[in-house]
Amino acid sequence: MRRSRTPVAVVAAALALPLAACNGGTTGTGSSMSQQTGAPTPTATRSAEPAAWIGDFVKGMSLEQKVGQLFVPTFADRADAERMIRRYHVGGFIYFPGNARDPVQTARLSNALQRASEIPLLLGVDEEQGLVTRLPYLTKFPGNMALGATAQPGLAHEAARVTGTELRALGINQNYAPVADVNVNPANPVIGVRSFGSDPALVSQMLGGAVQGYQDAGVAATAKHFPGHGDTDVDSHTGLPVIRHTRQEWERLDAPPFQAAVRQGVDAIMTAHIVVPGLDDSGDPATMSRTVLTGLLRQKLGYRGVIVTDSLQMAGARQKYGATQAAVRAVQAGADQLLMPPNLAGAHAAVVSAVRRGAITRQRLDESVTRILALKARRGLFGDVQVDPRRAAQVVGSRAHQEVARRVAEASVTLVRNKGGALPLRNGTRVHVAGPHAPQLAAALRKRNVRIAGSPQAADVVVLTTQDAGAATAARIRAMGGRPVVAVALGRPYDLAHAGAATATLATYSSGNVSLNALARVLTGQTKPAGRLPVQVSGLRFGHGLTY
């Protein structure tokens, strides 16, 4: 860094940067609550150009420093991260359990990394809530599809605000969430319950609440995976999916949540390693498609914030161009942040070389660096970014935060069938619990004075849990010896399409302890089921749900 132009010299100017700088739509703060839905209603503002100091700051950076700002690698430990800061001037890091072991250690690590970098770092994590969680000590929520079952954007806001508050207490300032994909394919192997649902309007409303919640907590939200990963039967971690939506289908199904995120003023949008011939017939993954990133996202949707790639370690990113050239192609397409390059040294050198030979223009590079610095300023990173490790230990997993998770879980449990009023369980009913997480559910029922039987034959009712069992669900019900069965889908609710022989069926969309406890309360009548199916299930309509 040219030390005559350090961040310290421009802190005062940085703090004056308008919140909406370099981002279309709203600021994500100063919201009010909609009286009809409980959804946060953002305060509209006019987008502003980046403050003058950012342009001057970018001019003072070397080519290597500018390129470094694009990269967000993984790291083994503090020494490894500090080496990458010195050698490659990286713009941030992504945390995983191996280097973020507990609240105090994580907060101290964040402080150390920020001290090591002349330019403040975006420290990110994949903390979607539910199925995808990286930090096991955070308050655990059921996840997006459970939130979709509540149909309450206000709850999505509360859940995201809690997670964002805990992340910021750890010194983490960017979350690669929420998921904006509309899960219209029951066989989708990579999204599923990570999605809010199969209805674009519902997903848009819930996404808006989540984006606002993260950003209200001071954490950059990242809507993913553009242009939409909800209709695929291939996992982009292991292959390159092709989605056959036409342009018209994309505009109807996939685009609305991203349009909502842009209007909401989302800080970042993540790309998908998918091929969508209806949007770009070149065969390029969206991450490397200028037609998709610049043409659709920037020009058609009017997005002016940061575009971040999905992990460049994934097979979908490397299959066509290889790991090193994938980074160059992504920048050419319009991406700003390059997440998790498998070879940082090679990718950094490739982008530097591309700029020097004109394959990436200096103007194009400066645009990305400007957007990244504007995001850092918008999230207050040019001020005091040091956090208190003792406070982190108090904030993370607090009783108040656990209470929010409990309310979300209880509001999400969906009663789909209840023949003859089999539920709630009557006093004295002997219950056998079978299936995934049966011991935990049985323990939760015992706490509510339910008599637990050791076998189906000794029971009056069998509670059978399933977790993405698919067609095998029917056989598992038959194996319960003719006893009345209450079938509960702990994962994807599509299992219920095969539960026609069950007396009663429910969905929790999650197998976490908070959902199992909520399920036990519903089964025993302590809580009334309130959820509604947020996806279409064969034989069951979207929005279906019963109560007692």
Instruction: Give the angle subtended at the CA of 16 by the CAs of 12 and 17, to the nearest 5°.
Output: 120
Residue 506 lies in a domain: yes
Same domain, 190 and 83: yes
Instruction: Give the angle subtended at the CA of 147 by the CAs of 443 and 415, to the nearest 5°.
Output: 60
| Sign of the torsion angle spanned by Cα atoms 112, 116, 122, 128 | negative
33-42, 203-212, 396-405, 517-526: the lowest-pLDDT one: 33-42
The pTM of this model reads 0.90
Bridge partners of residue 461, in order along the sequence: 431
DSSP state, 194? G
- In CATH, what number is assigned to the domain containing residue 248? 3.20.20.300
Residue 42 lies in a domain: no
Same domain, 351 and 439: no
The phi and psi torsions of 330 (rounded to 5 degrees) equal -65, -40
Cα distances (angstroms) measured from residue 213 to each of 4, 53, 99, 158? 38, 29, 26, 6
pLDDT by residue (tens digit) across 437-449? 999 999 999 999 9
pLDDT by residue (tens digit) across 381-425? 999 999 999 999 999 999 999 999 999 999 999 999 999 999 999
The structure tokens 């999605």 sit at 195
**Of 199, 185, 280, 193, nearest in space to 234 by CA:** 185
Name which residue leads in pLDDT, 315 or 263: 263
Give the distance between the most distant pair of CA atoms in the chain: 79
Same domain, 446 and 365: no
Residue 533 lies in a domain: no
54's enclosing H/E stretch is: helix 52-59
Q: What is the extent of the structural domain holding 441?
A: 403-523
Bridge partners of residue 93, in order along the sequence: 123
Quote the radius of gyration of the chain (alpha carbons, Å).
24
- Tokens encoding 60: 């003072």
pLDDT by residue (tens digit) across 458-503? 999 999 999 999 999 999 999 998 999 999 999 999 999 999 999 9
pLDDT by residue (tens digit) across 219-277? 999 999 999 999 887 666 767 889 999 999 999 999 999 999 999 999 999 999 999 99
CB 140 within 8 A of CB 58: no
Q: Helix 200-216 to helix 255-264 angle, to the nearest 10 degrees?
A: 30
The structure tokens 């349009």 sit at 259
pLDDT band at 434 (very low <50, low <70, confident <90, very high): very high
Residue 250 lies in a domain: yes
CB 261 within 8 A of CB 305: no
Q: How far apart are CA 406 and CA 175, in angstroms?
A: 22
Residue 12: partners with Cβ closer than 8 Å, 6 or more residues away: none
- Quick check: bond before 424 cis, omega within 30? yes
Same domain, 356 and 431: no
pLDDT by residue (tens digit) across 58-71? 999 999 999 999 99
pLDDT band at 7 (very low <50, low <70, confident <90, very high): very low
State the pLDDT at residue 219. 98
Same domain, 85 and 232: yes
Name which residue leads in pLDDT, 245 or 16: 245
Q: How far apart are CA 302 and CA 296, in angstroms?
A: 8
State the pLDDT at residue 492. 97
Residue 475: partners with Cβ closer than 8 Å, 6 or more residues away: none
CB 173 within 8 A of CB 122: yes
Q: How far apart are CA 492 and CA 496, in angstroms?
A: 9
Residue 386 lies in a domain: no
Same domain, 326 and 460: no
Residue 248 lies in a domain: yes
- In CATH, what number is assigned to the domain containing residue 512? 3.40.50.1700
Q: How far apart are CA 508 and CA 71, in angstroms?
A: 38
State the pLDDT at residue 239. 76
CB 499 within 8 A of CB 473: yes
- The answer to whether residue 48 scores a pLDDT higher than 80 is no
Average pLDDT, integer, range 25-41: 32
Mean per-residue pLDDT of the chain = 90
430's enclosing H/E stretch is: strand 430-434
Residue 158 lies in a domain: yes
Name which residue leads in pLDDT, 7 or 3: 7
Three-state SS letters, 20-41: CECCCCCCCCCCEECCCCCCEE
Same domain, 364 and 440: no
- Tokens encoding 414: 């969906």
Q: 3-state DSSP call for residue 72?
A: strand
Q: How far apart are CA 449 and CA 24, in angstroms?
A: 55
Average pLDDT, integer, range 301-321: 92
Average pLDDT, integer, range 21-35: 34
Alpha helices in 170-297 (DSSP H): 200-216, 247-249, 255-264, 290
pLDDT by residue (tens digit) across 196-214? 999 999 999 999 999 999 9
- Tokens encoding 479: 């194996």
Number of domains in the chain: 2
pLDDT by residue (tens digit) across 112-169? 999 999 999 999 999 999 999 999 999 999 999 999 999 999 999 999 999 999 999 9
Same domain, 234 and 370: yes
Same domain, 246 and 201: yes
Same domain, 151 and 255: yes
State the pLDDT at residue 51. 67
Active site residue 366: no
Same domain, 246 and 367: yes
Residue in 181, 310, 336, 495 annotated catalytic: 310
Residue 45 lies in a domain: no
Three-state SS letters, 167-183: HHHCCCCEECCCECCCC
State the pLDDT at residue 273. 94
Residue 387: partners with Cβ closer than 8 Å, 6 or more residues away: 107, 110, 111, 168, 169, 170, 171
State the pLDDT at residue 481. 87
Same domain, 310 and 448: no
- The answer to whether residue 46 scores a pLDDT higher than 80 is no
- The answer to whether residue 82 scores a pLDDT higher than 90 is yes
